[in-house]
């Protein structure tokens, strides 16, 4: 298959060609590998390939699923592929190989996907841009001098540049939606517990959720159909839900939409991001929806509770890493700022952690209450356009690190806290040609409505034909 043919099709389109016998899975794999060779150099989005393993799976016979034969990449963080390293951008972990697939990867394989590569992540996903000691900096295909986002930035750059039509990502505070906004992908964070959490058990009290970054809404919906469902190895479970693929193209009806450009906890919102929301409001109103200004009023100590909770989780994650690595971790294993965060987490008492969780319940209550009056919440995905690489401090203390977070990505984490599905849609580009994503969210378990509205917006203002500077022709 020619690269220019491959790059025009989403995953659903490629799967249809495989099903009708026009192209074989092995030919698609070869084409995907050629795509990686063609554009990965300047992007540094893909950190490992395992083509031989992928070809062996094809030759053994792929399951019949919605995406049989479609090339796919995994974010190199939590989704373990048995026998392949999961490095997390962190030198001590580069040699770690899980003995078996995580449940999510098993479901990806059952959908017929051909997994052949891993994508770059920030070091231990603790940075707000995709860079690491192990692999360096990942760049934005729309402008190489800018960030691809955090922490699924490698996947976002790979999808936007057409190396693959979709790839795995996860999101604990915005890490699907932020890179989707930066790189002009569709990035859906599902409801808490909708997909199995990798590798097993509960992660961040269910706030970290697994899914993908895609070029089309229909791919995201069909993949969610293939992977969603109860998994007994975790506390938080949601039933599979509706036929999500059937919602794409269905009229969502006349919706009441709350609109806000006021960032939680006071960060200023860039004029480009406000403009993206204003243009989206005009589009929504032209489609018959009712849009009204409505800010979310959060508890004053809500951010403090979130920060306390995350620091404790980081420290607990590192305790688990010590078990995996079989040794005690020391300051020498981490960049200075990450070590400061881990040490701060270790000093948090059980009582302080429980008080923080209680504070997060208040945040969740405030966010979810919006959906008593409105069907959908609209905001920018980010407070600023994709930032230049040098805007992210190389070394900072922990306080500055979190202040930067709030100035950069304050709109996303609240929907991890309350568990709502939320998505970034590529509906706007600024005068510099950089993507500005808009965020839509619905009440918990409201993916069907969210996907229906996203599909309507995709049809009204298509983005598939827009291509970044670094892209498969």
- Cβ pair 41, 136 in contact under 8 A: no
- State the alpha helices, DSSP H only, in 382-464: 398-408, 413-418, 447-460
Beta bridge partners of 73: 117, 167
- The Cα–Cα gap between 345 and 289 comes to 45
| Token pair 């008593």 in the structure block, residue | 372
Which backbone phi and psi does 309 adopt, to 5 degrees? -60, -45
C-alpha radius of gyration, the chain, whole number: 21
Count of Cβ atoms closer than 10 Å to residue 325 Cβ:
15
Beta-strand runs (E) in 197-300: 209-214, 256-259, 290-293
| Token pair 């729309």 in the structure block, residue | 142
220 counts as catalytic: no
Beta-strand runs (E) in 123-240: 131-132, 136-137, 139-140, 143-147, 166-171, 186-189, 209-214
- Cβ pair 145, 171 in contact under 8 A: no
- Cβ pair 177, 406 in contact under 8 A: no
Which backbone phi and psi does 169 adopt, to 5 degrees? -150, 165
The DSSP code for 346 is: H
From the candidates 7, 75, 220, 379, give the one annotated as an active-site residue: 75
In terms of Cα–Cα distance, which of 47, 44, 18 is closest to 31?
18
From the candidates 139, 151, 379, 424, give the one annotated as an active-site residue: 151
175 counts as catalytic: yes
- Cβ pair 148, 130 in contact under 8 A: yes
Q: Please state whether the peptide bond connecting residue 212 to the residue before it is cis, i.e. omega within 30 degrees of 0.
A: no
151 counts as catalytic: yes
Q: Please state whether the peptide bond connecting residue 151 to the residue before it is cis, i.e. omega within 30 degrees of 0.
A: yes
From the candidates 175, 181, 420, 452, give the one annotated as an active-site residue: 175
Residues with catalytic function:
75, 151, 175
């Amino acid at each position: 298959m020619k690269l220019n043919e491959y790059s025009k099709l989403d995953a659903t389109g490629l799967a249809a060609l495989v099903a009708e016998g026009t192209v074989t899975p092995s030919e698609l794999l070869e084409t995907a590998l050629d795509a990686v060779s063609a554009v990965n150099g300047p992007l540094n989005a893909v950190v490992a390939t395992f083509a031989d393993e992928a070809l062996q799976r094809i030759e053994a016979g792929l399951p019949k699923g919605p995406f049989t034969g479609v090339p796919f990449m995994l974010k190199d963080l939590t989704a373990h592929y048995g026998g392949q390293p999961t490095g997390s951008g962190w030198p001590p972990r580069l040699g770690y190989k899980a003995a078996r697939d995580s449940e999510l990867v098993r479901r990806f394989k059952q959908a017929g996907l051909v997994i052949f590569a891993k994508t770059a992540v920030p070091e231990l996903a603790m940075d707000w841009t995709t860079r690491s000691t192990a692999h360096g900096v990942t760049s934005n295909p729309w402008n190489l001098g800018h960030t691809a986002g955090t922490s699924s930035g490698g996947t976002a750059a790979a999808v936007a540049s057409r190396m693959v039509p979709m790839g795995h990502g996860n999101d604990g505070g915005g890490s699907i939606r932020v890179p989707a906004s930066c790189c002009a992908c569709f990035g859906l964070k599902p409801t808490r517990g909708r997909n199995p959490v990798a590798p097993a058990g509960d992660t961040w009290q269910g706030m970290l959720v697994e899914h993908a970054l895609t070029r089309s809404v229909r791919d995201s919906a069909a993949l969610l159909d293939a992977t969603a469902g109860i998994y007994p190895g975790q506390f938080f479970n949601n039933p599979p839900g509706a036929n999500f693929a059937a919602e794409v193209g269905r009229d969502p009806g006349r919706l009441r939409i709350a609109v806000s450009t006021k960032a939680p906890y006071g960060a200023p919102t860039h004029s480009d991001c406000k403009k993206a929301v204003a243009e989206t409001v005009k589009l929504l109103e032209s489609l018959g929806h009712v849009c009204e200004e409505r800010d979310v009023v959060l508890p004053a100590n809500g951010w403090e509770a979130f920060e306390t909770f995350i620091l404790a989780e980081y420290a607990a994650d590192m305790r688990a890493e010590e078990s995996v690595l079989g040794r005690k971790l020391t300051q020498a294993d981490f960049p200075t700022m990450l070590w400061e965060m881990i040490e701060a987490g270790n000093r948090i008492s059980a009582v302080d952690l429980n008080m923080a969780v209680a504070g997060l319940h208040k945040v969740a209550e405030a966010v979810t209450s919006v959906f008593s009056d409105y069907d959908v919440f609209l905001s920018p995905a980010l407070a600023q356009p994709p930032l230049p690489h040098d805007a992210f401090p190389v070394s900072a203390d922990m306080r500055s690190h979190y202040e930067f977070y709030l100035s950069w990505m304050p709109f996303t984490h609240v929907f991890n806290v309350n568990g709502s599905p939320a998505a970034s849609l590529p509906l706007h580009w600024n005068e510099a040609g950089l993507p500005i994503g808009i965020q839509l969210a619905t009440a918990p378990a409201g993916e069907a409505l969210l996907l229906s509205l996203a599909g309507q917006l995709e049809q009204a203002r298509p983005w598939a034909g827009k291509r970044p500077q670094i892209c498969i022709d």
